[in-house]
Amino acid sequence: MSEQIRVLVAKPGLDGHDRGAKVVAAVLRDRGMEVIYTGLHQTPAQIAEAALQEDVDVVGLSIHSGAHMSLFPEIQRELKERGLEDVLVVGGGIIPEEDQKELESLGFGRLFGPGSPTAEIADYIETEIAARRAGEKT
């Protein structure tokens, strides 16, 4: 890709498990993306503000606490309040299939479960951002 993809990887809420987020961040970096990792215990407002300050193309959320149905929509709301409704928001972690479908219907990108190949995550982000930059609706 001609322009580097900027990705914010965030751990919302009280979830203290960040191994997967760090692995994904490293894979995305190895694929040539610029990755900013927020660290643990971020509020929706902190995540959205970091996305604004870092001028990212993608926000990647990782959650294992079960609070995705409250935190993810709140993050989406905070992003929209800052004019970032065009940022691709993807997620990963322990998210039941029915919740994945509901979140995707709310405008979230793909949600990846445990064991998802990291190359699949990187491929999805590259493809989605290339399409958005080309002006295609995905």
Delineate the domains of the chain, giving CATH numbers in brackets.
Answer: 6-133 (3.40.50.280)
- 65 vs 62: CA distance, rounded Å: 10
Most confident of 1-5, 12-16, 127-131: 127-131
pLDDT at 1: 43
- 56 vs 35: CA distance, rounded Å: 9
Q: Residue 106's closest CA among 120, 95, 94?
A: 95
Mean pLDDT of 42-66: 96
7 pLDDT above the threshold of 70? yes
pLDDT at 34: 98
138 pLDDT above the threshold of 70? no
